Structure 1
Amino acid sequence: MHCATRRGLLAASLALAAGAALPAGAAEAWPARPITLVVPQGPGSGSDISARLIAQFMATELGQPVVVDNRAGAGGIVAHQAVMRAPADGYTLLFTSTAQLLVVPEINPSARYTLDDFTPVAPVLRAPFAILVAATPGSPRTLNELVERLRATPAAFASAGVGTMTHLASEIFLNRAGVKATHVPYKGSGAALADLMGGQVLFAADSLTASLPFVRSGKLRALAVTGDQREGSLPEVPTLAEAGLPGDPVAVIGGLFAPKGIPKDVAARIGHAADVALRKPEVVARFAAMETGILHVSNDAFVAQLRREAPGWQALVRKMGIKAE
């Protein structure tokens, strides 16, 4: 037998032996290649910054790069559909929140996805809103003053767009207070808050990430926060309940999601890596600087909260008759 032939047979035998040593259907050890983390917003957004920060430390924990892929468009539909259709192997993840995951499909039928099309694998953040007015002479100084002003005089409120969480948070406040106001949608929080400070509208509900710099500079006044507790950055500002409008907390919660069907052991490893990342001092400090709370709950509790909140958000959208523009 020729030497080359013998070498070929030996290589084939070794390959067969290696294959026989693995259980039938065994897959390569995960992760064996880079992981893609899809973000439904563009570069530089709060979600993008958070995702890149987490990805950096998850990569160290997992031993593979975690690459952020920004897929903005159609209110998050592009990103969600891409991940929904990806293989459920742990190599494609989605960083999203109640806004795009639960509300957008109710507003826009073309979304064609639901919570059940994804597997939540890691809780990441919670972000309540603040009820805001311009810090000008004569503007309301308490939530009760704002409610009385709305009862007495027609007024308008600003949001970051039709069907956004800033829009819904404002509507929840109005509903609890039993008052009405005209909705003026803008293309993003920046434009909405600019007109609020300029006096074109009476109030807005927006994230602390977007509004706190203006509160601290004395251009905006926060009358209440919508979470279940006062915020460390605004300890003097009451919650809606403390201000006399009780009800469920109003906040965005978000985290990492995988396509439905991801193996449980892979999902658990992703969740552990995310938890390690969220406990790093650098991550804690950056989230605090962005006024974004870290959601330190179990993944089971995260899933339960999403399922508990979904009907309420969706019912609100239907009640208001909000449709994609």
Structure 2
Amino acid sequence: MRKLAAVMTILASAVLGTPAATAQAYPSKPIRIIVAYPAGQGTDIATRYLAEQMSRDLGQPIVIDNKPGAGGNLGTELAAQAAPDGYTLTMGTNATHVLNQFLYAKLAFDPEKDFEPIALVGTFPMIVAVNTTFSINTASDLVHAVQRNARSADIAMPSTTARLVVELFKERSAAPLFGVPYKGSGNALTDVIGGQLPVMVDTPTSLRPHIAAGKLRALAVTSAQPSGLVPGVKTISEQGYAGFEVIAWNALYAPKGTPANVLNTLNAAMNKVLQRPETRQKLLDFGFDPAGGTAAQLHDFTRSERRKWQPIISAAGLKAE
């Protein structure tokens, strides 16, 4: 018995002395995903759905924390300052992790150095839409309207990406388009559907229900090729403005310094969810083309996006208000 007790003591000491035994398996408590946009916007809707699916696989609740403000910078700054333990993440966008660093004079975070990429979630074009009571049917009609009357085609812009679309289209068309900034889709939709403004630029998630209901009419999509998310709608490029392309996207990030094993767990969980046919269909219904892939692929993708947009934004002199 003494020998058995001694052996058990040695084994117990060996097991308890290993890092695997002392470290808690991840995740062991609820995870928070910061969404730097208002509830009900496209990023928020998709994140809530994906979080619900990932929560089942990871065995822990995932809470969505909406922190809108400053074009997405407020919530993104909070995420960058969070503990790098995998329990605070953020659903980044092409605005928060590419465009804003070129549009704003100063950011309190570095979108590349302060974050660990996890996975690209989805991509989508923006839609240019008009209140159906206005006699604007094409991108060219919009240009002609504003040339006749400078305030006849004011455009609601509920996001940084929407502003980029307006500014880039203004530069390509040489028309004095006037963009009206909004903090979110809700108020912009209210004003455009109500007739206070004729035109808006927003995501498929936000606009498709109102287009289907006949309250709005889609004039164009901002992708290089026609999008299955808005069948039958021509691109701006097809309507006489060759080379015009603006694609928006969402991707999951963690604060810099988050352990590799945690990042790998989250990447695997996200890809597992994105590979399910029902998830892919749901994202398409929301207005997203599902993505996925490795953290390295997301890192390379965002770098290529920065190389693409920095000279365009600089040449156009675009600045956040």
Stretches of structure 1 lacking an aligned partner (at least 5 in a row): 1-6
Offset of 1:15 from its aligned partner? Answer: 5.7
Q: Distance in 2 between matches of 1:37 and 1:125?
A: 16
With over 3 angstroms needed to count, the CA separation of the structure-2 counterparts of 1:313 and 1:57, relative to structure 1, is same
Q: Percent identity of the aligned residues?
A: 32
Q: Which runs of 4+ in 1 moved over 6 A?
A: 9-14
Q: Deviations over 1:141-184 (max 9, x none)?
A: 222232233334323422235x7221221111221222222232
Match of 2:141 in 1: 145
Looking at structure 1, the residues matched to 39 and 190 of structure 2 have their Cα atoms a distance apart, in angstroms, of 22
**Could you tell me whether the CA contact under 8 Å between 1:158 and 1:192 is conserved in 2?**
no
Matches within 5 A, 1:139-178: 139-155=135-151, 156-161=153-158, 164-178=160-174
1:125 to 107, 122, 125: 122
Contact (CA 8 Å) 2:72, 2:95: kept in 1 or not? no
Contact 2:34 2:66 in 1 (8 A): yes
Tell me if structure 2 keeps the 8 A contact 1:159–1:188.
Answer: no
Out of 279, 283, 288, the position equivalent to 1:292 is 288
Whether 2:190 is the aligned partner of 1:189: answer: no
Among 191, 209, 215, the residue aligned to 2:205:
209
Q: Is the 8 A contact 2:136 2:142 kept in 1?
A: yes
Are residues 1:17 and 2:14 paired? yes
**Runs (5+) with no aligned partner, structure 2:** none
TM-score, length of structure 1 as denominator length: 0.81
Counterpart secondary structure, 2:154: strand
Which SS does the other structure have where 1:83 is aligned?
Answer: helix
Q: Which residue of 1 aligns with 2:88?
A: 92
CA distance in 2, matches of 1:45, 1:96: 13
- Deviation track 1:27-61 (CA, whole Å, cap 9, x = no partner) reads 44433443332222344443333222212222233
Aligned partners of 1:34, 1:195: CA distance in 2, in Å?
Answer: 38
Q: Equivalent of 2:108, from 108, 111, 117?
A: 111
| 2:204 counterpart letter in structure 1 | L
- Mapped to 2, the partners of 1:147 and 1:75 lie a distance apart of 26
* 2:219 equivalent to 1:223: yes
Residues 74 and 195 of structure 1: CA distance in aligned 2, closer, same or farther (over 3 Å): closer
Matched residues, number: 314
Change in 2 beyond 3 A, CA 1:42/1:315: same
- For 1:15 and 1:315, how far apart are their aligned partners in 2? 61
Q: What one-letter code is carried by the residue in structure 1 that aligns with 2:225?
A: Q
1:21-32 alignment, distance < 5 Å: 21-22=18-19, 27-32=23-28
Q: Which amino acid aligns with 1:191?
A: N
Answer with 1 or 2: which has the greater Rg.
1
Q: In the TM superposition, what are the counterparts of 1:27-42 in structure 2 within 5 Å?
A: 27-42=23-38
Counterpart residue identity of residue 203, structure 1: V
The offset of 1:298, in angstroms, is: 4.4
In the alignment, the residues of structure 2 paired with residue 44 and residue 201 of structure 1 have an alpha-carbon distance, to the nearest angstrom, of 21
Q: 1:54 and 1:121 mapped to 2: Cα distance?
A: 14
Structure-2-length-normalised TM-score: 0.82
